[in-house]
Amino acid sequence: MSTAEVLSKHRAALTELAGTLGLSVDGTYEEVASGEKLYARPEMLRLLERVRGGAVGAVLCMDIDRLGRGGMADQGAIFDAFRESGTLIITPEKTYDLSNDVDIEMTEFKAFFARAEWRAIRKRMRRGLMQTIEAGGYTPNAPYGYRQCRKGKLPSLEIVEEEARFVRFIYRQYLGGAGAQSIARQLNAMGSVPHRGREWSRSTVRHILRNPTFAGKVAWNRVKHFRPGEHGREKHHVVCMPESDWLLVDGAHEAIIPFEQWQAAQQQRLARQVPPRRGGRSASPLAGLLVCSRCGRKMQRTGGGSGGAYLLCPTQGCCAGARFDYVEEALMRALGPVLAGLPLARRPEPGETLPALETALASAGRELARCASRIPRLYEFLEDGTYDRPTFLTRLGAAENEKLALEARMDDIRERIRRENSARSGTDGLPGDLGSLFAGLTPAEQNAVLKALVERVTYTKPKRSPPHGFRLEIWLRGSRPDL
């Protein structure tokens, strides 16, 4: 049965249930990925926002585990929202009221087994996926130049010759000395259209050049996904992994280009890379801030050799580019008064705060270790019959809540220690405002400061305008365009 058929069947059953109970339905939230992380479930987040606001009397679902089978923290956030708001969970078999102790225990019991089932399913799926990859199968969406097919039971690819000729053209041009931007312009002039987007850009060409699929290989672990909040990023983000971390196997599909040609392109690509001018994770303090005022896409920095780096719009024929250092100077000149108006905190007098915090952290660590050691014993007591299931769930819930509280306490103490160390060593003898300190920061630190102050900067430059003929509009956080 297809996903659409399953959703239709569930929708009909719940609509009939609502009619039987005399309930009015004022919203439907359909989502397939019930086992995914909560941050990756937009429909569930929308529902929880209404539940927390007290706007929902009850939620109808096919089973309690349809609300989520993910990690304990995600399940806790979901059930806490229902318990605190007094919202009922209605299934065809039972209505759950999480203000009732019996229903809480039953919900936790079901959630425990749903989570175990979810982990088992994920383990089987991952094992099957790795077996497919090791056999040369290809499971993601087909890249440009290919279409999906099956070779026996193995998912694979077959060449689309109308597109493959452009892939060969990209590699020939690149190995002949052309740059990605130049190749993108030629592809657009030739009438080629990528799978995603209306036209070729520098980034789509570079993606083709880096992908070993075109050389008949299947690569795993090329990218890694991170949830919001990790690495200090507010949104879900993807990081390209170094080639040394890839799992690279011979694919069952036919290659468009020889593997030796792909390797030569990688060597040339690495030779052309311009290392950061200064230390830090980012080569540019403006990374992620500048967007084109016409198409809304983020501006890209390119080059950096003898001619200097340029700021370019990734959309062909949009805003004209400009020298990166010209744009950087103009932006910093406009933000200078803002930075100068931000005072630095002075260093506090040395005291007993830091030793006390370190002692508290060590004590909390010992408590956490003791708490973590209790949890495996609870499972042993369940298995040998010492605890019945309700007692086990009650004790397990208490232990896990204590563990989470201790972890949060340790994180808080670590942050206070970090601030104390920063205060003791960071500002004594330094100028009294951020503007004076800013020039001495690394590009990554400068970028973090600017992103804390600036929401975005729009860039405009008409075609055939002079080198300094661009215009910047700066949105400080929580305000209209300011500068």
Say whether both 366 and 253 belong to one domain: no
- Count of domains for the chain: 4
Which band of pLDDT confidence, cut at 50, 70 and 90, is reported for residue 59? very high
* Measured distance CA(21)–CA(58) in Å, rounded: 12
Residues 250 and 388 in one domain: no
pLDDT at 189 over 80: yes
Give the pLDDT of residue 423: 60
Instruction: Give the phi and the psi of residue 237 in degrees, each rounded to 5.
Output: -140, 160
Q: What is the pLDDT of residues 462-471, one digit of tens each?
A: 988 888 889 9
332 and 441 belong to one structural domain? yes
> Is the pLDDT at 95 greater than 60, yes or no?
yes
Q: Are residues 194 and 280 in the same domain?
A: no
Question: The domain that contains 191 carries what CATH number?
Answer: 3.90.1750.20
pLDDT on residue 459: 92
Pair 27, 122 in one domain: yes
Query: pLDDT-derived band of residue 230, with 50, 70 and 90 as boundaries?
Result: low
- Using the predicted structure, report yes or no on whether residue 78 has a pLDDT greater than 80: yes
In what helix (H) or strand (E) does residue 446 lie, and over which residues does it extend?
helix 443-453
161 with 298, same domain: the answer is no
What's the mean pLDDT in 414-421?
A: 76
368-385 b/e (C-beta count within 10 Å ≥ 16 → b): beebeeeeeebeebbeee
- The strand pair at 300-303 and 322-323 is best described as unpaired
- Kindly state the average pLDDT of the residues 46-65: 86
**What pLDDT does 60 receive?**
92
Note the pLDDT of residue 430.
Answer: 40
Say if CB 270 and CB 263 are below 8 A apart. Answer: no
User: What are the tens digits of pLDDT across the range 378-402?
Assistant: 777 677 666 677 777 777 777 777 7
Distance of CA 422 to CAs 351, 425, 447, 459, Å? Answer: 14, 5, 19, 36
User: Are residues 438 and 296 part of one domain?
Assistant: yes
Model pLDDT, residue 277: 47
Tell me what pLDDT residue 378 has: 72
- Of 147, 257, 140, 163, the closest CA to residue 210 belongs to 257
For residue range 470-480, list pLDDT tens digits in order.
999 888 876 54
Measure Cα distances from 334 to 47, 58, 180, 435, 482 in Å. 43, 53, 33, 12, 10
Mean pLDDT, rounded, for 406-422: 77
Please check whether residue 107 is in contact with residue 79, taking contact to mean a CB–CB distance below 8 angstroms: yes
Residue 204 tokens read as 């789509």
pLDDT band of 71, cuts 50, 70, 90: low
- Asked whether residue 63 falls in the same domain as residue 87, the answer is yes
Domain of residue 313: give its range.
274-344+431-483
pLDDT of 432 > 70? The answer is no
Q: pLDDT tens for residues 324-346?
A: 888 888 888 888 777 766 655 44
pLDDT value of position 166: 95
CB-based contact 79:98 (threshold 8 Å): yes
Give CA–CA dist 123/129, Å, rounded: 10
> What is the pTM (predicted TM-score) of this model?
0.51
